[in-house]
Amino acid sequence: MATFAIYIDKSQKRRDGDYPVSIRITQWRKHAYLPTGYYVCSEQMSKDFEL
């Protein structure tokens, strides 16, 4: 069974300070990332990069 999670990559910070939001799909210990058109800023996240 596949699991889905919201994923924010710390290394892809834009010049304006926003981070792209991706959906992480895991099945059989393999990961795939689906990019979305959404961005979050540091004020919208916790220190652990969680929404």
Looking at residues 10-24, what average pLDDT do you find? Answer: 92
Between CA 20 and CA 10 the distance in angstroms is 9
14 to 9, 25, 35, 37, 46: CA distances (angstroms): 11, 24, 15, 14, 18
- Kindly report the length of the chain: 51
pLDDT > 70 in the chain, percent: 100
Alpha-carbon distance 42 to 26, whole Å? 26
Query: CA 41 to CA 18: how far, in whole Å?
Result: 4
Mind listing the pLDDT tens digit for each residue in 24-43?
A: 999 999 999 999 999 998 88
